[in-house]
Chains A and B, each alone.
Chain A
Amino acid sequence: MDLRNISQEEFEIIEAYLTDTLSDEDSLKFEDRLKNEDGFATKVEDIRTVLTGIETQALKEQLDHFHHDLSTDKNKTTKKPKVKSLNWKRITVAAALIIAAGSFWFLNDNTNERLYAKYFTPDPGLPTTMGSNENYEFYEAMVSYKQGNYQDALNTWKNQLKTKTTNDTLNYFVGSALLAYKKENEAISYLLEVTKQANTTFKNEAFYYLGLAYLKANNKNEAINFLKKSDFTKAKDLLKKLN
């Protein structure tokens, strides 16, 4: 049996079966084929392995990113420079490189930083009205957020996120608070989560703030990428200055 030989139609129906998106009727037909058609079950198992393989490898690659973040966080605090013997020639070359790279970074950083400062204002937040709110904790934190007590707001919201991981409102405001709290790198993953939701009302905001977060992190390409996706005039304005 040649496993390579599978039509698009057949692939799609197997995929739908494996991801549990077939209608009841089609499901029955499918199970029937599984039982009666020679070699079909092997094909289905193969596709199942391929889908698992893709997912597993994609996660594995993401784990390396997590690990990288872990070690950069640590290096900042624990690495001490060790100089055993002085090699002046090397040191001079290194110093020259550092100065060159540093001044490039500084100049580059400066314009991005300035633009960021000009365009960034924290999201004003949601109106908090007194009364019969079922979600008291959330609005309590919203008050903290508006008063600029980002840490307090973050504590509550992050806690709520543990049980509502894909909630777009929570992800969006955690992202906003982190950004206002000058933790743009952390903010990015929350804002990205918002943009994954197809019907979120925060889409334009999230894209705009993602653009700003990347700008602050000095990643101009990504910044442009996300600003393009936002309908805000501010986003379009900023894009013109970046191009």
Chain B
Amino acid sequence: MREVYKTGQKLQIVSAIKSNDSVTLRRIYTSNYPKVETLVLKNNGTKDHAKDIFQEAFLAVWQNVKQDKFIPQNESSINGYLYTIAKNKWMDVLRSQGYKKTVIASQLSYFEIKDGENNGIDDDILKDKRLEDVMLAFKDLGDACKSILRMFYFEKKSMNLIAEELKLDSASTRNKKYRCMQKLRQIALKNN
């Protein structure tokens, strides 16, 4: 019985993340950010560093859950995973050239730098050039197109619901989606 319950819980959190459920994502974000901020602040970083690192880590966790590369047992395993990725990322920053000059290893109070601690976690999802171009293009896409693509692919609303919201029939909604898609891809190719 207990096992059944556990499996149910696992499926629920995974499907909530896969469907971009905003309540769940917000809860994960707000409950984990403070720990990461403390870590970065205590190790020669600023609040801005903390925010960037945390958001990068958050996107990596989300992507890995979506692609079934990481299957969390429950919410606390997500929290641990997110913290580890953020920590790895911040260590990479500290190890990088710009930082080595100014930071003395002994000043790092919160963790020791160990090599090979990455555990083979794949957290580099954003390093694909084409993906980056698409993201930039989407950022600058006009509001109307942005909103319709957002409803389809992020909020994952049903076709009927979106058509209703736009006050269009479903054929015109589909056509509008297609045209927005073309526009987005054109901008992304131009940026290239």
A-side interface residues toward B, CB under 8 Å? Answer: 3-4, 6, 8, 11-12, 46, 49-63, 66-67, 69-70, 161-166, 171, 189-190, 192-193, 196, 198
Contacts and interface: CB of A to CB of B under 8 A. Distances in A.
Nearest to A74: B34
Interface stretch (B80-88, B107-115, B179-187): B179-187
A61 B136 CA distance: 12
Contacts of B106: none
Given A49-B131, A54-B138, A189-B22, A70 B55 contact: no
Nearest to B135: A57
Interface stretch (B38-46, B92-100, B116-124, B146-154): B146-154
A50 B186 contact: no
Contacts of A70: 29-30, 33
Given A3-B185, A50-B134, A54-B149, A62 B158 contact: no
B8 A51 contact: no
Contacts, number: 124
A58 B153 CA distance: 9
B12 A54 contact: no
Contact of B154 (A11, A55, A63): A55
A63 B58 contact: yes
Given A193-B22, A196-B161, A51 B153 contact: yes
Contacts of B149: 54
Given A54-B184, A163-B8, A193-B21, A8 B189 contact: no
B25 interface: yes
Contact of B178 (A3, A12, A166): A12
B65 interface: no
A55 B156 CA distance: 10
A63 B149 CA distance: 18
Max count, chain B CB within 10 A of own CB: residue among A54, A164, A198: A54
A50 B184 contact: yes
B69 interface: no
B23 A193 contact: yes
A190 B23 contact: yes
A58 B25 CA distance: 13
Contacts of B30: 66, 69-70
